[in-house]
Amino acid sequence: MTARAAYRLPAHRRLTLALAAPVAALILSLAVASIALVLSGSNPFPAYGRMFSYGFELETLVDMVNRATPLYLSAVAVAIGFRMNLFNIGVEGQYILASIIAAQVAAELSLPAPLHLTVIILVGMATGSMWALIAGVLKVTRGIHEVISTIMLNAISISLVVAMLFRQWDVPDESLNQETAEIPPSGRMPNLNGFVELFTREISKGRVLWGFVIVAIIIGILYWLYVARTRPGYDLRASGINPLAAEASGVSPKRTVIVAMALSGAVGGLVGLPEVLGRDYAYGLQFTQNLGFAGIAVALLGQNHPGGIAIGALVFGFLDSAAPILDVHGDAPQEIVEIMKGIIIFAAVITYVVVQRRRQDEEARAASLAMASSEADPPAEGATDAAAPDSRPAP
């Protein structure tokens, strides 16, 4: 009995298995991108060297984090759904709608700074949540698959609702840039330049580290706590793994769909706010789109794990912010980065499966080892003797 209690895959083995997939994916993507570069007549090594040295300049790193922040939020939103096999493809529509409404509310309110910011963030979350809930309710009441409904809701949100609101709220001025009214200073997210500069040199070239990264970190921690440490989070995961067993264990399938969609949408509603509250102080034509779809890729890369998603978002942020240097020097077209991103996802998905199998094999072997080591005691007696003290029903 002692032999069986002690065995478990050792910590270093589990870590190696966890890291194998992303590392392999990265190496493979570099290899494939190199081939593409050679074929198109560029030398990959100076290109990578340049990306690397430019990429690790302080200003580029600031860009990287600014880019990673919305990607992270978007990926967490998607991951909440993925955890119960719910595909929220609608983060795109949720965050764009949430952004314009939050921007407008922010501009019209005047409150003391911390409260003002909090209200804006809550408005964004509520809007995203409501929009996602439409898909959740449709699924629960009418059995409409969330992929279909969220894709349609994306179109409605972006092409109809946002377009109409934007016409309504656009403030005419002499510049050609169309924007909603400017958010007063009390509703803006303070930047973190001062904090970063405590540790390093001054951030130049007008770069600003958006304060919203703090919100993203908090969301990441809350997501981890929810999924790994709370009973509703367990219910969510259980439904994702085996909905029938979850149902028998007391999880209401309908309720879980509603909760997951609401939470996913709430986080989705935050995706556009780093830009709105950190850079533009309004919703305008320069607003970044497609973050909702990029989030799906990042969630996949990070395997829905809060830490994994953070790494994925930073890798994508790095590639996006370091790529422009390639065009500047003409080493290679910066679009090569898009190839790399594609290959990373592709390779990651494959290597995850390989690693997963490997891990299952090792576990199964460990379990059969445990069985063999306890072969000596006849099962019938072993079970009956020991079962007695624990099988006493309540009086």
Partner 1 sequence: MTPALSLEDITKRFPGVLANDRVNLTVAEGEIHAICGENGAGKSTLMNVLYGMLPADEGRIVVRGDEVHFRSPRDALAAGIGMVHQHFMLADNLTVLENIILGAEPTGRAGRIDFARARRRVAELSDAYGLDVHLDEPVENLGVGERQRVEIIKVLYRGARILILDEPTSVLVPHEVEELFRNMRDMCARGETIVFIDHKLDEVLEIADTITVLRAGRTVATVKPEEVSPRDLAELMVGSELPTPEARTTAAQDAVALEVKDLSVLDDDERAVVKGISLEVRRGEIVGMAGVEGNGQVEFVEALLGIRAPAGGQVLLEGSEINEWTVRQRREAGVGYIPEDRHRRGLLLPAPLWENAMCGHQSKEPYSRHGFWLTPKAARQRTRELIAAFDVRTPGPDVAAHALSGGNQQKLIIGREMVMTPNLLIAAHPTRGIDVGAQAAVWETLHRAREQGLAVLLVSADLDELIGLSDRLLVVFRGRISAALDPATVTPRELGAHMTGAAADVEEPQPA
Does 367 interact with partner 1 (rule: CB under 8 A)?
yes
* Contact indicator for 340, 33 with CB cutoff of 8 Å: yes
Q: How many Å separate Cα 153 from the centre of its chain? A: 20
Alpha-carbon span 260 to 262, nearest angstrom: 5
Beta carbon of residue 126, minimum distance to partner 1 (angstroms, whole number): 23
Q: How many Å separate Cα 367 from the centre of its chain? A: 34
Does 248 interact with partner 1 (rule: CB under 8 A)?
yes
Amino acid at 7: Y
* Contact indicator for 74, 291 with CB cutoff of 8 Å: yes
Length of the chain: 395
Does 7 interact with partner 1 (rule: CB under 8 A)?
yes
Does 246 interact with partner 1 (rule: CB under 8 A)?
yes
Residues in contact with partner 1, shown as a per-residue x/- string from 249 to 288 under the rule CB under 8 A = xxxx------------------------------------
Residue 284 is given by DSSP the state: B
Compute how many residues bind partner 1; rule: CB under 8 A.
60
| Complex with partner 1: residue 1 or 35, whichever CB lies closer | 1
Q: What is 94-146 written as a DSSP string? A: HHHHHHHHHHHHHHH----HHHHHHHHHHHHHHHHHHHHHHHHHHHHHH---H
* Contact indicator for 255, 82 with CB cutoff of 8 Å: no
* Contact indicator for 59, 203 with CB cutoff of 8 Å: yes
Alpha-carbon span 19 to 47, nearest angstrom: 26
Residue 185 is given by DSSP the state: G
Beta carbon of residue 349, minimum distance to partner 1 (angstroms, whole number): 17
Within 13 Å and on the Cβ side, how many CA atoms surround 53? Answer: 6
Q: Find all residues with CB under 8 Å of 280, minimum gap 6, and list them.
A: 179, 286, 287
Q: Within 152-171, which residues bind partner 1 (CB under 8 A)? A: none
| Complex with partner 1: residue 327 or 363, whichever CB lies closer | 363
Beta carbon of residue 8, minimum distance to partner 1 (angstroms, whole number): 5
Candidate residues 32, 178, 214, 234; the one interacting with partner 1 per rule CB under 8 A: 234
Stretch of residues binding partner 1 (CB under 8 A), selected from 15-23, 30-38, 69-77, 232-240: 232-240
Alpha-carbon span 71 to 78, nearest angstrom: 11
Residues in contact with partner 1, shown as a per-residue x/- string from 57 to 96 under the rule CB under 8 A = ----------------------------------------
The candidate with the shortest Cα–Cα distance to 84, out of 262, 272, 221, is 262
Does 38 interact with partner 1 (rule: CB under 8 A)?
no
| Complex with partner 1: residue 223 or 283, whichever CB lies closer | 223
Beta carbon of residue 300, minimum distance to partner 1 (angstroms, whole number): 17
| Complex with partner 1: residue 80 or 236, whichever CB lies closer | 236
| Complex with partner 1: residue 102 or 227, whichever CB lies closer | 227
Candidate residues 46, 194, 307, 382; the one interacting with partner 1 per rule CB under 8 A: 382
| Complex with partner 1: residue 161 or 370, whichever CB lies closer | 370
For 22, 296, 307, 340, 379, the CA distances from 311, given in Å and listed in that order, are 10, 14, 6, 16, 47
Does 363 interact with partner 1 (rule: CB under 8 A)?
yes
Stretch of residues binding partner 1 (CB under 8 A), selected from 81-89, 101-109, 225-233, 324-332: 225-233
Does 174 interact with partner 1 (rule: CB under 8 A)?
no
Does 11 interact with partner 1 (rule: CB under 8 A)?
no
Beta carbon of residue 362, minimum distance to partner 1 (angstroms, whole number): 9
Only one residue has tokens 């949100």, namely 157
Does 338 interact with partner 1 (rule: CB under 8 A)?
no
3-state SS string for 162-206: HHHHHHHHCCCCCCCCCECCCCCHHHCCCCCHHHHHCCCCCCCCC
Does 142 interact with partner 1 (rule: CB under 8 A)?
no
Candidate residues 230, 286, 289, 290; the one interacting with partner 1 per rule CB under 8 A: 230
Does 208 interact with partner 1 (rule: CB under 8 A)?
no
Question: By the criterion CB under 8 A, which residues form the site for partner 1?
Answer: 1, 4-9, 228-235, 237-238, 241-242, 244-252, 360, 363-375, 377-384, 386-395
